[in-house]
A and B are shown apart, each in its own frame.
Chain A
């Protein structure tokens, strides 16, 4: 994953000297030169057709780089969306004599609706299902194109497709398509640094964590899917105008696989990779024509290359190039110092921040949590302890919304959050960390924490502008002692530091209640001391903490209040020292027999 370097805020908290568009002037100048070249250079029909194909295909592949690269969702029906756009322009301009522009827009809208509906129906399910549904959709679209002859002319295809009056000549039309390519490329390139783009990357890296930091996972996925479909439709519309003829076999499943391969070959994560992949996969078959004497041979080689690319170049050609420069680039940036972190937990309820009543969670016949009550007082550290398998983590998962409660009620600051999805709970003021650390691994520490700061309803980020987000994130990172390494990738941090980043991510969101799931697990003794000291500093700012841990020293020193679970039931609750001396607790830990 590459964030273009000029796009990373170098001087934090200093307002940008130049507006965004001005800073990207070189890109637009380059694009303009390219468009001008296409419009004026002489090339023969063959080169023209190759360029036309490459340009329109690249836009469709950009769509894949959004859904697959940014959001990590598979789409095996890009050719179908491409076909929807192509047929809208084809049929609209030839049979119904409509304006090209109207048809192009209609094609995009149809693709958008189809993509959104398809996404909404299946994106709640896992990847294999999505793969299958998109294949099915692809097949159905192909069948409809072939069989609804009254509408689509069936397998004959649509000919005499019109172009806009402005771009009647092939060359000017190609130039127009190149301009569209440049525009779409710009949007896709910068998408990853917008709020939506960050959300997509977070979903791709870790769906569960994305949910608990306040991202609406489902909506993000549907957006990515719909956006990819729109780009497919747009590309198809341009394609239809370019070749003046379309037929169903151009939009078959095989073409979807070609799109996917283009995307993978170049590097799925970036539009530059998409462009490289598209160019190569259009040119390579042309170059390899000498293999044509044996039918099937070059497609066999193509299949083999797909396997080899996946095996040896998982991030594609562009990813491969990037990897070589990544380390060098991230080292060049030195983040500025940040102000002290402020935590202003909301305070609208009464004395009790979290009220759990009769909470149960059954897995089939297994009662993992069975009628548990917990009351967490404002401003304190509350610990939830119990032997392995006692239901602590399940309880935490039900509270944060990863599991649906079988029975019971959860009130956060007086609001009933029992039936909310995780991202709404986050918006309501819940923050958490995970026992097995769940960070967004392809991003830098700063980006991780920024996503936390972006929590809907966080009052401390003003309008949520990029500068404010970065400032807030830097404060949180500095608070846990990692401010100076903000721009490093997650993989370069030690296990203990990754824990601290996860805590910083939760703190940046300025939660009302912080859930810590075994924060000391896997830490060495000096790291534990640091953690303990950190907890004190957090508590000092009045943030309420609910903590699970096995480390009794940490628990007994940090927590004022303890709830003990065993076999899914609450066996003790009260002030720390008293609870720890409770006979049931002792026997639960040491065994009774």
Chain B
């Protein structure tokens, strides 16, 4: 083989420019990028890690199945520091990268509120896990929710307590932060509709060291069933213990924190026999079981909703882009809204015009420290 000078020059040119060509190809979209705002620092850093696990698991599955529009998908992660200003900065940093086609926002409603104006301005789809009902009802077409919102959790708690357990005298205890207030409100209005208005609606501030006044208020109210929205597991643990110590043993149906792994660990026997709504319950569907198995295989620990919703978000976003055949935001939006009966780890997705994908909850029970699936309650509207 004779190597001419011309060949050599051409080869040299290719050799020199190749990295640039590849580089610029990458910049122009050799991969499809999905941005993710997640707490890497701050109080929710650990949950943030679980969320990344879930998203990465989905990403691996998507890429194994051929990727998005024939390209490999890639996650770009930014730390939201578990604060509102943090997520605004993190999101603006991601938004500045033009080639990101869709985003994963936060599981925290206040953070989603904080970033919402920027989302509207940017005009690209953002998957969220915050459960404040208002988030999808404020005229922002770019937010898509992958957990059932709190109006459903309130309705499910009320429905289960009134229709399944047959209890009518409700005491509501909720934290006074965004999550607890919205949840408490939803539960109260659901009970109102069922004709059994609550006899007690008691708020408390997060990180209270003592719940005696709250427990005594529940006791005094004569309620025969308790519905709760607790934000922090240690608050829940203190409350649960004091509740039992002061002799309150009425049925208890609560928001997801009641059946969270860490609460079960902290409160121990004090939570035996309680019911909780859970957006993710491993035994609720085939898709959930499959996710549970995959997660366990990958990370050697059981998943919860913190990792289930990002998993679904990445899966749905990928499916929608593939369906749309384009990364044009409007087309992605249409594709997401057109998905019907899409099986996910959190449940079956049927997006409504507001961007809410799920419309019901699982009810699970604490069976001597083990969380078991009880039933699924769904609403059509």
Contact = CB atoms under 8 A, between A and B. Distances in A.
Chains A and B touch (C-beta atoms under 8 A apart): yes
B42 interface: yes
Contact of A243 (B83, B88, B109, B181): B88
B176 A157 contact: no
Contacts, number: 93
Contact of B40 (A45, A146, A293): A293
A416 interface: no
Contact of B176 (A46, A155, A243): A155
B181 A149 contact: yes
Nearest to B135: A156
B117 A156 contact: no
B114 A157 contact: yes
B205 A45 contact: no
Contact of A247 (B114, B176, B203): B114
- Counting chain A residues whose Cβ lies within 8 A of the other chain, the interface size class is 20 to 34
B41 A299 contact: yes
Contacts of B93: 46
Given A46-B96, A292-B79, A154 B176 contact: yes
Given A46-B96, A244-B117, A247-B113, A154 B84 contact: no
A226 to B, nearest CB: 27
B96 A156 contact: no
A50 B90 CA distance: 11
Interface in A224-251: 243-245, 247, 249-250
A213 B110 CA distance: 54
Contacts of B41: 292, 295-296, 298-299
Given A45-B118, A249-B83, A143 B88 contact: no
Interface in B95-109: 95-96, 109
Contacts of B109: 156
A49 interface: yes
B29 interface: no
Contact of A143 (B89, B117, B205): B205
B178 interface: yes
Contact of A292 (B40, B92, B113, B116): B40
Interface string A44-68: 1111111001000000000000000
A550 B328 CA distance: 92
A140 to B, nearest CB: 12
Contacts of B113: 156-157, 159, 245, 247
Interface string B55-92: 00000000000000000000000010101110011001
Contacts of B84: 157, 245, 247, 249-250
Interface residues of B, number: 34
A155 B181 contact: yes
Contacts of B83: 249-250
A299 B81 CA distance: 11
Contact of A155 (B45, B92, B177): B177
Given A243-B88, A292-B40, A156 B205 contact: no
Interface in A133-188: 143, 146-147, 149, 154-157, 159-160
A384 B2 CA distance: 115
Nearest to B98: A44
A288 to B, nearest CB: 10
Given A53-B85, A149-B181, A250-B84, A46 B205 contact: no
Contacts of B178: 154-157
B95 A46 contact: yes
Contacts of A249: 83-84, 110
B18 interface: no
A335 to B, nearest CB: 50
Interface string A257-296: 0000000000000000000000000000110010011011
Contacts of B134: 156
Interface string A112-149: 00000000000000000000000000000001001101
B210 interface: no
Nearest to A254: B83
A244 B88 CA distance: 11
Contacts of A48: 92
A429 B42 CA distance: 59
Interface of B: 40-42, 45-46, 79, 81, 83-85, 88-89, 92-93, 95-96, 109-110, 113-114, 116-118, 122, 132, 134, 138, 176-178, 181-182, 203, 205
10 contacts: A45-B96, A46-B96, A49-B92, A146-B205, A147-B203, A154-B178, A159-B138, A245-B88, A247-B114, A295-B46
Given A245-B88, A250-B83, 19 more contacts: A44-B95, A45-B122, A147-B203, A149-B181, A154-B181, A155-B176, A155-B177, A156-B134, A157-B113, A159-B117, A243-B88, A243-B114, A245-B116, A247-B113, A249-B83, A249-B84, A292-B41, A293-B40, A299-B41
